[in-house]
A and B are shown apart, each in its own frame.
Chain A
């Protein structure tokens, strides 16, 4: 059966969601327009800028390069959920402390990508941080402060564990 409009059921930030969506709707448009979760940002819409980075089934993806209908049955976490759960609290505090954001447009994607690296454990080198974050554009900070913030949280978490 092929359809232009489909019913999907998924879990978004821990809550069950059932919606009817057009097949051509991207995950990020679905999150923003249908669910009102506007923390995921739309930048380039072709996978280059990373502003739409969210977590699907535990791994980060480009929400502009995935269709909402592909997320039927999936678990999706956006910046709203990651923030409310407290999982990112130390990262968010470090971004603020280090001036790792200015306009904030890239920040939800930056945080999701940074947490993806940090939850692997250990203290990555600055080079590894840069490589991991290479898919996320920031036009304000020049990146050094972002690397500083991520590195400081990695060290902080390593001391605690």
Chain B
């Protein structure tokens, strides 16, 4: 057995999970595809795991007015197959096949990916690019946190110690919505060396409301705002030149290589945005 000993409890409701989070060194267990790996390596040794998989009503995907709401316990595989996501959240649909491998996507949850906030993960960047929001439930009730305010630092989010993610919401795509997604990884499904999630609106032949969210280039998903403005002006090479990213070296690549690859991805994604979605 690899993990250090821990106690295990099954929460049946969100309130029960939040109450249990008040115990010492407690952690939520959703899909477990990152958490159990870190337990196996003893990078994490909580005293209590609160299994939230049995909480009903947290795994729906629905279009509500001009918003797509995705329950926190929705599995990546469910999102990948969802017609609602395919039609109304095409950026997430494009990103899903890049998340881990089939067996991982069968277990991993969208809420877990957002709450864990791995800087090289696809979904946090998608949420940031879409200008989505996170529904957080805590001891004082529910609140909504904008994606721009949610990702604070390396594996650090706006979640407090007794908070849990209960849903994410993104604007439903309209006829003029454009989505672009690309990533470079050593093997399909591995964490990206660099990735880019992008959204925009068509404005005649040009683009507006361009939001470029790079991942694998810093402590959080990072917006390249100067490049967004350049791309809206229609100049792809100016957008590449304006990339103000400063990625640190990591085990996969040096910062200089990552920055070069970010430019490569930006050109590819610009093509996706400019062509019809």
Binding site for B on A (CB under 8 A): 1-4, 6, 22-26, 29, 45-47, 50, 53, 59-62, 64-67, 69-70, 113, 116-117, 130-132, 134-136
How many contacts A-B (CB < 8 Å)? 102
Q: By the criterion CB–CB under 8 Å, are A24 and B6 in contact?
A: yes
Q: By the criterion CB–CB under 8 Å, are A65 and B8 in contact?
A: no
Contacting A at CB under 8 A, from B38-58, are: 39-41, 48-49, 51, 53
Q: By the criterion CB–CB under 8 Å, are A24 and B5 in contact?
A: yes
A64–B103 Cα distance when bound, in Å, is 11
Q: With A24-B3, A24-B6 in contact, do A66 and B103 touch (Cβ < 8 Å)?
A: no
A87–B103 Cα distance when bound, in Å, is 19
Q: With A23-B49, A26-B36 in contact, do A61 and B103 touch (Cβ < 8 Å)?
A: yes
CB distance from A155 to the nearest CB of B (A): 21
5 chain-A/chain-B pairs, Cβ below 8 angstroms: A4-B6, A26-B36, A61-B106, A70-B32, A135-B101
B1-42 near A? 1/0 per residue, CB < 8 Å: 111111111000000000010010000010011001101110
Q: By the criterion CB–CB under 8 Å, are B1 and A66 in contact?
A: no
Residues of B within 8 A of A53 (CB): 103
Q: With A46-B41, A60-B103 in contact, do A3 and B1 touch (Cβ < 8 Å)?
A: no
A22–B7 Cα distance when bound, in Å, is 9
A61–B76 Cα distance when bound, in Å, is 13
Q: By the criterion CB–CB under 8 Å, are A59 and B36 in contact?
A: no
Q: With A46-B37, A131-B97 in contact, do A66 and B32 touch (Cβ < 8 Å)?
A: yes
Q: By the criterion CB–CB under 8 Å, are B7 and A59 in contact?
A: no
Q: With A61-B103, A61-B107, A113-B102 in contact, do A2 and B7 touch (Cβ < 8 Å)?
A: yes
12 further A-B pairs in the complex, CB-CB below 8 A; given A59-B106, A66-B107, A113-B102? A2-B9, A6-B8, A24-B5, A25-B1, A46-B41, A60-B102, A65-B36, A65-B107, A116-B102, A130-B188, A135-B103, A136-B101
Question: B100 — nearest CB in chain A belongs to which residue?
Answer: A135
Indicate whether B64 reaches chain A with its CB closer than 8 angstroms.
no
Residues of B within 8 A of A3 (CB): 7-9
Contact of A134 among B7, B20, B188 (CB under 8 A): B188
* Number of residues of chain B lying within 8 A (CB) of chain A: 35
Residues of A within 8 A of B2 (CB): 24, 26, 45
Q: By the criterion CB–CB under 8 Å, are A2 and B36 in contact?
A: no
CB distance from A31 to the nearest CB of B (A): 13
B64-104 near A? 1/0 per residue, CB < 8 Å: 00000000000001000000000000000000010011111
Question: A136 — nearest CB in chain B belongs to which residue?
Answer: B101
Q: By the criterion CB–CB under 8 Å, are A67 and B102 in contact?
A: no
Residues of A within 8 A of B4 (CB): 24
Q: By the criterion CB–CB under 8 Å, are A50 and B103 in contact?
A: yes
CB distance from A79 to the nearest CB of B (A): 14
Contact of B102 among A4, A66, A69, A135 (CB under 8 A): A135
CB distance from A17 to the nearest CB of B (A): 18
Residues of A within 8 A of B188 (CB): 130-131, 134
CB distance from B56 to the nearest CB of A (A): 15
Q: By the criterion CB–CB under 8 Å, are B1 and A29 in contact?
A: yes
Residues of B within 8 A of A60 (CB): 102-103, 106
Q: By the criterion CB–CB under 8 Å, are A135 and B41 in contact?
A: no
Q: By the criterion CB–CB under 8 Å, are B103 and A113 in contact?
A: yes
A4–B4 Cα distance when bound, in Å, is 11
B95-131 near A? 1/0 per residue, CB < 8 Å: 0010011111011000000000000000000000000
Residues of B within 8 A of A24 (CB): 1-6, 39
CB distance from A49 to the nearest CB of B (A): 10
